[in-house]
A and B are shown apart, each in its own frame.
Chain A
Amino acid sequence: MSFDLEQATVLLQNEFPQDILDIKEYRNETTLLIKKDQIHRFCKHLKDNLDFTFLADLTAVDYLEVKLPRYEVVYHIHRFGPDCEENIRIRLKAELTDDNPKIDSVASIWSSADWLEREVYDMFGIEFTGHPDLRRILMPEDYGPFPLRKDFDVRNREASKESFEKALEDGRD
Chain B
Amino acid sequence: MGVNADPLVGGEGFLTTTIEAFANWGRKNSLWPMPFGTACCAIEMMGVFASRYDLSRFGAEVARFSPRQADLMIVSGTITYKMASVCRRIYDQMPEPKWVIAMGSCTCGGGPFDSYAVVQGIDEFLPVDVYVGGCPPRPEALIDAVMKIQKKIEMKGAPVV
Interfacial chain A residues near B117, Cβ < 8 Å:
139, 147, 160
> Which residues of A lie under 8 Å from residue B82 when comparing CB positions?
139-140, 160, 163-164, 167
Q: Which of B80, B84, B114 contacts A155 (CB 8 A)?
A: B114
Is B88 among interface residues, defined by CB-CB distance under 8 A? yes
Give the number of chain A interface residues (Cβ < 8 Å): 17
State in angstroms the CA–CA spacing of A155 and B118 once bound together: 9
Q: Does A154 contact B (CB under 8 A)?
A: yes
- For B, the interface residue count at a CB cutoff of 8 angstroms equals 14
- Against A, the Cβ 8 Å flags (1 = close, 0 = not) of B80-117 are 11101100110000000000000000000000001111
Given contacts A139-B117, A147-B116, contact A157 B85 (CB under 8 A): no
- The answer, yes or no, to whether A168 is at the interface (CB within 8 Å) is yes
Q: How many angstroms from the CA of A118 to the CA of B102 in the assembled complex?
A: 33
Cβ–Cβ contact A164 & B116, under 8 A? no
- In the bound complex, residues from chain A placing their C-beta under 8 Å from that of B125 are 164, 168
B115 touches A154 (CB 8 A): yes
Instruction: Return chain B residues, CB-CB under 8 Å to A168.
Output: 85, 88, 125
Residues on the B chain within 8 Å of A156, using CB = 116
Chain B residues whose C-beta falls within 8 Å of the C-beta of A147 in the assembled complex? 116-117
Q: What's the Cα separation between A168 and B125 when bound, in Å?
A: 10
Do B85 and A160 have beta carbons less than 8 Å apart? Answer: no
A171 touches B89 (CB 8 A): yes
CB-nearest residue of chain B to A171: B89
- Residues of A within 8 Å of B120, CB to CB, are 157
Chain A residue numbers with a CB within 8 Å of B81 are 140, 157, 160-161, 163-164
Known: A139-B82, A163-B81, A164-B81. A157 touches B116 (CB 8 A): yes
A159 within 8 A of B: yes
Chain A residue numbers with a CB within 8 Å of B119 are 164
Do A155 and B115 have beta carbons less than 8 Å apart? Answer: yes
Report A136-173 residues with CB < 8 Å from chain B CB: 139-140, 147, 152-157, 159-161, 163-164, 167-168, 171
B85-A167 in contact (CB<8A): yes
- How far apart are the CA atoms of A37 and B125 in the complex, in Å? 48
B115 touches A164 (CB 8 A): no
A164 touches B114 (CB 8 A): no
Interface string of B43-87 (1 = CB under 8 A from A): 000000000000000000000000000000000000011101100
Residues of A contacting B80 with CB < 8 Å? Answer: 160
| CB pair B85 A171 closer than 8 Å | yes
Residues of A within 8 A of B116 (CB): 147, 152-157, 159-160
Q: Are A164 and B84 in contact (CB under 8 A)?
A: yes
A155-B115, A155-B116 given. 8 additional CB < 8 A pairs? A139-B117, A140-B82, A160-B82, A163-B82, A164-B81, A164-B85, A164-B125, A168-B125
Closest 7 CB pairs of A and B: A167-B85, A160-B81, A164-B81, A168-B85, A171-B89, A164-B84, A147-B116
